[in-house]
Amino acid sequence: MIRLGVPSKGRLMEQTFDWFAERGVRLSRSGSDREYAGRVEGAQGVALVLLSAGEIPRELAAGRIELGVTGTDLVREKLAGWSSDLVELAPMGFGHADLILAVPDCWRDCVDLDDFAAIARDFRSEHGFRLRIATKYHRLVRAWLSAQEVADYQLVDSQGATEGTVANQTAEAIADITSSGETLRANNLRILDEPPILRSQATLFANRGAVGPALERFAAQLGLEMPDTPAPQEAAQG
């Protein structure tokens, strides 16, 4: 049985259902809106598992589901070395969002990351603590800042309503996902003039260990080509 993990609510769930329907596979919730059980029509040997988008990376890596739909941001954030456990089967063309660093709009002198780094350097001596960046993307933000040699900051954990932390004075800056930019604007925040930390979209992933004839048949039914993806160490060995 191929267990397919799909986000259990909202636009991500609906667009995932539409994506599969366009490929002849009908996914649906089997009960009421509150029941997290699902049904699959049009494919043999596939079971639908409705899960939180944030839990799908871990469930895939643990082998509790063979296929899963979630954002590339969540996979890269939650799984160190994600590509040794997972294979990307198909970007799905929705759920586009950029992970960005934003500062208060009134920080007129803070346009790019160099300005931000200079402000962060001075911040500690002026305030007695390191400049705070609120985010739920700890791994990705740390890696990005460290690659650009920015070190004078601290991350404060924010699992939701992150853009509100600046007005609430629990952070000076935020790193979060944005798509229309409306939430940032409404909270008087401005994106640094830099490429995004990550461009994310909803993607169909497979557990690397589950790749085999059954999964390949289902992928072919969806019109997908299985990527030729040796595990990272095999690739390195040539």
Ligand X SMILES: O=P(O)(O)OC[C@H]1O[C@H](OP(=O)(O)OP(=O)(O)O)[C@H](O)[C@@H]1O
Ligand Y SMILES: Nc1ncnc2c1ncn2[C@@H]1O[C@H](COP(=O)(O)OP(=O)(O)OP(=O)(O)O)[C@@H](O)[C@H]1O
- Please report, as residue ranges, which positions from 167 to 196 form the binding site for ligand X (by CB under 6 A): 176-183
Pick one of ligand Y, ligand X, none as the site partner of residue 57 (Cβ within 5 to 8 A by kind). Answer: none
Residues in CB range of 48: below 8 A, 6 or more apart = 4, 6, 27, 38, 39, 40
Under 8 Å between Cβ of 223 and 43 = no
> Which residue among 177, 204, 215, 219 contacts ligand Y (CB under 6 A)?
177
Q: What are phi and psi of 124, to 5 degrees?
A: -65, -45
Q: Per-residue x/- mask for ligand Y, residues 50 to 79, rule CB under 6 A?
A: --xxx---------------xx-xx-----
CB of 164 to ligand X, least distance (A): 9
Pick one of ligand Y, ligand X, none as the site partner of residue 81 (Cβ within 5 to 8 A by kind). Answer: none
Pick one of ligand X, ligand Y, none as the site partner of residue 161 (Cβ within 5 to 8 A by kind). Answer: ligand X
Which pair of tokens denotes residue 109? 């002198």
Pick one of ligand X, ligand Y, none as the site partner of residue 74 (Cβ within 5 to 8 A by kind). Answer: ligand Y
Q: How many CA atoms lie within 13 A of 176 on its CB side?
A: 29
Beta strands 153-157 and 131-135, pairing class: parallel
**Strands (DSSP E) along 43-166, which ranges?**
46-51, 67-71, 86-91, 97-104, 131-135, 153-157
Pick one of ligand Y, ligand X, none as the site partner of residue 168 (Cβ within 5 to 8 A by kind). Answer: none
* Identity of the residue numbered 174: I
**For residues 71 and 219, which CB has a smaller minimum distance to ligand X in the complex?**
71
Binding footprint of ligand Y on the chain (CB under 6 A): 10, 12, 52-54, 70-71, 73-74, 95, 97, 177, 179, 200
- List interacting residues with ligand X (CB under 6 A): 160-161, 163, 176-183
